[in-house]
Structure 1
Amino acid sequence: MVQFSKVVGSLFLGVGVFSLLISSQCPMQILEWSLWFSYSFGISFSILLDCSSFLFISTVMMISGSVMVYCSWYMSDEVYYNRFVLLVLLFVGSMVFLITIPNLVCVLIGWDGLGITSFLLVIYYQNNKSLGAGMVTALVNRIGDVLLLFIIGSMMSEGGWLLYENSLVVENLYLPIVLVVGAITKSAQMPFSAWLPAAMAAPTPVSSLVHSSTLVTAGVYLLLRCSSVLEESGLAMNLLKSLSLVTLVMAGSAALVEIDLKKVIALSTLSQLSMMLFSLSLGLTSVCFFHLVAHASFKALLFLCAGVVIHSNFKTQDIRCLGKSWSVLPVSMAFLTVANMSLCGVPFLSGFYSKDMIIELSFMVGDNVGVYMLEILGTLFTSWYSLRLMLNLMFGLNKGISRVSFGEENVTLKMAYFSLAVMSVGVGWVVSQVVVSLSNSVHLFLFDKSLAMGFIPLAGLVYWFSLNQQESVFWKKEALWFLSSMWNLKSMTTQLPSKFLVLYSDVVLVSLEKGWLEKVGPQGAVVVLKSASKLAQTYQQYQFLRMALASGLILASGAMLSALI
């Protein structure tokens, strides 16, 4: 089965390259098959093929191929390896369905498929932590599923479920708001952000898929396809802008103090998703999709490199215990540096083309100063926590007792790294040339460009200050706890509801399960049936006595008549 995963990975890579080559030459086509038809509306299965769908399928396939090759090394000692590979294939297939289906009823195949398979993959290790994380992930994603079903019900009178048509907003003014709230549950924006770091309980290859091009990008992709609907509602656009900016700052500040390696990368994913949705709220649809594709490549590479570091140090994820990795894992650290630099937007890597364009074009929109301050602050946080991560892994002190479990990095790892590294370096330039709407952009002056280079020494200064001024007012324990808990979001969305339910469970037990539910339910039914049976028995006795008396009188009358005759 290990060889099978390598074959599947190679096949995925080939499909991804083929989709990339034909993406610029494919005109928009919708293939539709009627499944059921009535006088008022019908249900059909549709497939949408255009430049965006082929480009995104190419990204998903190339990342999935690299991850499958990576799994042949990372999960080789797994007992249930066949089950794991099957779940990953179902996960990727659900995302492909979501990308290519424009019909809102049929898109539930991919939408619910992602939710179910993500739950099964998060609880894969079958312990209490994984189960808790899987339940949080599943329940939050069910909110989006319910809202999607609500949209389907509200469109019953439209004669179809093609949500990409902006004419539907004329009759359903609330539809864009419901669509935004339903989509951000998948993309983990405020106040649904707590499930994203919790989903790190899944195996690292799954985390690479979830946080690069599949589950968390499903909501962004749905909003991208429905951008014409969103633009008809100013309230929906303002709501999306506000939530994305708050999430951007919150995720960046939490990543500055997080010590779990995988959670730091998860929070960086959350901040980049906020950048995509912020650009979408400004009407920059092409730029949002550009950053979606560019981010997927270097984030998958970043997770794979982090997985090697964790796997090589006996599953240790504390970045304070993973120092001096440069000397023992040179290839992984080199590729991690490339991915991190692309995340920071260093010229001329993939992240530079998309993030630079978002910042440039957002300044040309003419919004208020507060919006731009939050955007720049979130971008600064990205540089700071990326530099902190690299310094800890490469040059930090190894305070743990763990040792690297092997002497030389496997050839399989280098094969998995190579395709993602090529994408991290070149996909920004390639996509900017393929997509016509991205060929021209607004460019700032050289002085304005050079100001971005000042972020790096500023990030180093802040990092030095955080190490040497631990007792200062800013770095108190309360402030660190506030930031690490994602602004109390974890306790408010996960711990507080469960605590409330546990405290009042006895009240619920006495008043509901042993109270009026019993009276209305089984006990009440017993009382009613007992009364009815007693009444029926009494009535039957009365009727029996009446019939016996009548029968006696008839017999006596008959006897008397016989005697007289």
Structure 2
Amino acid sequence: MTLLKFPLISYYVFEISFHLMLDEVSLIFMGVVFVISGSVSIYSFWYMDDEKFVLRFIYLIFLFVASMLMLIMVPNLICLMLGWDGLGLVSFLLVCYYQNTKSLSAAMLTALTNRVGDVLILVCIGLLSSYGEWILYNRYNFSAFVGVSSLLMFAGSTKSAQIPFSAWLPAAMAAPTPVSSLVHSSTLVTAGVYLLMRSFWLMEPSNLTLGVLKVMSLLTMLMAGMVALLEVDFKKVIALSTLSQLGVMMFSLSMKLPYVAFFHLVTHASFKALLFVTAGCVIHSNFGTQDMRLLGKCWTELPISMSFMSVASFSLAGVPFMSGFYSKDLIIELSLMNSDTLIVYLIMMVSVSFTSWYSFRLAVSVIWGLNKSVLKSVVSKESGVLVISYFSLFFCAVFSGWVIHQKYGQVSFSTFIDSVLFGAVCLIPVFGLGGFFYCLDHSEIHMNMVWYPKLTKFVLSMWNFKLFSTQFLVMPAMKCSYKVCRSLDQGWLETLGPQGVFSCLSKASQKNQVIQSRYFLSLLMVLFFVVLLVVAIICLLSFFI
């Protein structure tokens, strides 16, 4: 490990320095980010070909990647905020790139949720100021601060969209598909996992923190799998699969296996980026349609993209000897060796089976299926540029798991489960496939779902966490502001302010008008009587003279 130190501020014993740490983990992760960002950049020129300000979009992509690289290499908690907060700021600009109401609301939800994590890290910086340094990675001398580990855990959960901070991740699908390929593979959503993996030795002494993280990760995996089974938006299904895999990574961290979580992070980044770019090709070639009920038979129109999408879907489902199999199978086997309760194993196995279930649902609906309403006209065919982007991600999605498992000694674990249980773990994709075809053959299951619209709405609202993240926070403030507006702006402030002044001036002017009119009439009467008196006096004088 190489640690480069650049002093910034030095005052007696107080010193703030800029650090760069280069080790095996950071170099592997930077290599993954470079491969994915390069492929996505090439892909962006094809996807955004009709965009007027395409260079502005590319510059934002590069700034986003630079922020992630800053987060990867900087171990200092103060300087790490440059990359951490940079990801949140640039993600806001990218999510609201399409300037409409939906994109703006999604960008605000993303930015405000991530701002919670920023505040928690600032609190950690304040708590650790007594040490005089803020290098967290691979350090043990901060273990006395149990509260710091909990704050860091919640800060990482906001970036990685764990329950109850999960609503922003599907909402971020309002961004262009190249942005989603970066955000949901190797940059924004993985920042929280990477931070917790690097600072794991700070959390390890706190069993309470790891217990809370385990509960949050299991619920996130289960919730994301349930929603993905019912969701019809193409991009949101893939986003929910990302949410499920983030739960798997956090679950691995809760079992005190940080390098295994990093192993799954790297393999997941490769096949998820490939899955997103192929999905973007389908959407771009079908008039921007994202509803899976209007897509189908794409194999005949887009054979190259659908081939790569099949590979990415198989890797996501954990089909043996794909890259996703090596990391996911290792996490499942090590979790079965851990002494947990039956409910933990049950939730974990059901959630992993959901992954293969919605993976095959996505493949059958889009690649091979022929739905009732299919858009036959294709706007643009596959370009040769896409093949270059696909192939670099394809080799990572197929071979990265085997290469890392063979060459990276930190993930070389010996598992001691029997052959029957090992076979059951390897056949998890088959369980999901069987469940999918069972529901497909027994259509009455789908018919019965119509009779439970509240249950379906509850699942699709991500267990009401969408409402919790939006209406729950907005509606009390809106009601309070309405009452304040009625009582202040439209109440006594109006009475004492403009309306009151206007009313007083109106009454005063009316009274003044009345007074003036009476004064004028009385003046006329006085003048009339004076004139009569003068005339009478003149007449009398003339009579006597």
What TM-score, normalized to structure 2?
Answer: 0.87
Q: Which amino acid aligns with 1:459?
A: G
Q: Which amino acid aligns with 1:60?
A: V
Give structure 2 stretches of 5+ with no counterpart.
495-545
- Name the structure 1 match of 2:537: none
1:461 aligns with 2:437: yes
Q: What does 1:141-220 correspond to in 2, within 5 Å?
A: 141-164=114-137, 165-170=139-144, 172-220=145-193
- Name the structure 1 match of 2:343: 370
Q: What does 1:29-428 correspond to in 2, within 5 Å?
A: 29-164=2-137, 165-170=139-144, 172-400=145-373, 402-406=375-379, 408-428=381-401
3-state SS of 2:92 partner:
helix
How far apart are the structure 1 equivalents of 2:41 and 2:392? 12
- Name the structure 1 match of 2:454: 478
Structure 1 residues 101 and 515: alpha-carbon distance in aligned structure 2, compared to 1, 3 A threshold: farther
Displacement, 1:510? 4.9
Q: Which amino acid aligns with 1:205?
A: P
How far apart are the structure 2 equivalents of 1:457 and 1:387? 7
Give structure 1 stretches of 5+ with no counterpart.
1-27, 519-565
Please tell me whether the aligned partners of residues 41 and 156 of structure 1 are also in contact (alpha carbons under 8 angstroms).
Answer: no
Displacement, 1:168? 1.4
Displacement, 1:516? 11
Q: Which amino acid aligns with 2:93?
A: L
Q: Which amino acid aligns with 1:497?
A: L
Please tell me whether the aligned partners of residues 432 and 439 of structure 1 are also in contact (alpha carbons under 8 angstroms).
Answer: yes
Displacement, 1:124? 0.2
3-state SS of 1:35 partner:
strand
Q: Which amino acid aligns with 2:398?
A: V
- Summarize deviations over 1:274-332 as a string: whole Å, max 9, x none: 00000001001111110000000000000001000111100000001111111111111
Q: Which amino acid aligns with 2:262?
A: F
- Does 431-440 or 360-369 show the bigger shift? 431-440
Structure 1 residues 401 and 222: alpha-carbon distance in aligned structure 2, compared to 1, 3 A threshold: same
Q: Which amino acid aligns with 1:272?
A: Q
Structure 1 residues 515 and 274: alpha-carbon distance in aligned structure 2, compared to 1, 3 A threshold: farther
Q: Which amino acid aligns with 1:317?
A: Q
Displacement, 1:109? 0.6
1:498 aligns with 2:474: yes
Q: Which amino acid aligns with 1:388?
A: R
- Name the structure 1 match of 2:500: none
3-state SS of 2:66 partner:
helix
How far apart are the structure 2 equivalents of 1:79 and 1:249? 41
Structure 1 residues 135 and 408: alpha-carbon distance in aligned structure 2, compared to 1, 3 A threshold: closer
Displacement, 1:498? 2.1
Displacement, 1:400? 3.6
Please tell me whether the aligned partners of residues 469 and 475 of structure 1 are also in contact (alpha carbons under 8 angstroms).
Answer: no
What TM-score, normalized to structure 1?
Answer: 0.84
How far apart are the structure 2 equivalents of 1:516 and 1:37? 56
3-state SS of 2:8 partner:
strand
Q: Which amino acid aligns with 1:216?
A: V
Structure 1 residues 501 and 400: alpha-carbon distance in aligned structure 2, compared to 1, 3 A threshold: farther
How far apart are the structure 2 equivalents of 1:444 and 1:321? 45
Structure 1 residues 230 and 495: alpha-carbon distance in aligned structure 2, compared to 1, 3 A threshold: same
How far apart are the structure 1 equivalents of 2:109 and 2:450? 32
- Name the structure 2 match of 1:5: none
Q: Decide which structure has the larger Cα Rg and report it.
A: 2
Residues paired across the two proteins, number? 491
Q: Which amino acid aligns with 1:262?
A: K
Q: Which amino acid aligns with 1:83?
A: R
- Does 453-462 or 316-325 show the bigger shift? 453-462
3-state SS of 1:168 partner:
coil
- Summarize deviations over 1:17-41 as a string: whole Å, max 9, x none: xxxxxxxxxxx01000111112242
How far apart are the structure 1 equivalents of 2:413 and 2:383? 42
Please tell me whether the aligned partners of residues 328 and 404 of structure 1 are also in contact (alpha carbons under 8 angstroms).
Answer: no
- Summarize deviations over 1:444-475 as a string: whole Å, max 9, x none: 44433332424144223343157443232697
- Name the structure 1 match of 2:498: none
How far apart are the structure 2 equivalents of 1:465 and 1:243? 34
Please tell me whether the aligned partners of residues 244 and 277 of structure 1 are also in contact (alpha carbons under 8 angstroms).
Answer: yes
- Does 484-493 or 203-212 show the bigger shift? 484-493
Structure 1 residues 131 and 194: alpha-carbon distance in aligned structure 2, compared to 1, 3 A threshold: same
Displacement, 1:397? 2.6
How far apart are the structure 2 equivalents of 1:385 and 1:223? 28
Q: CA RMSD for the aligned pairs?
A: 2.0
Please tell me whether the aligned partners of residues 356 and 433 of structure 2 are also in contact (alpha carbons under 8 angstroms).
Answer: no
Please tell me whether the aligned partners of residues 32 and 46 of structure 1 are also in contact (alpha carbons under 8 angstroms).
Answer: yes
How far apart are the structure 2 equivalents of 1:466 and 1:257? 16
Please tell me whether the aligned partners of residues 354 and 432 of structure 2 are also in contact (alpha carbons under 8 angstroms).
Answer: no
How far apart are the structure 1 equivalents of 2:394 and 2:388? 10
Displacement, 1:493? 1.4
Structure 1 residues 359 and 510: alpha-carbon distance in aligned structure 2, compared to 1, 3 A threshold: same
How far apart are the structure 2 equivalents of 1:459 and 1:334? 24
Please tell me whether the aligned partners of residues 282 and 298 of structure 2 are also in contact (alpha carbons under 8 angstroms).
Answer: yes
- Does 495-504 or 273-282 show the bigger shift? 495-504
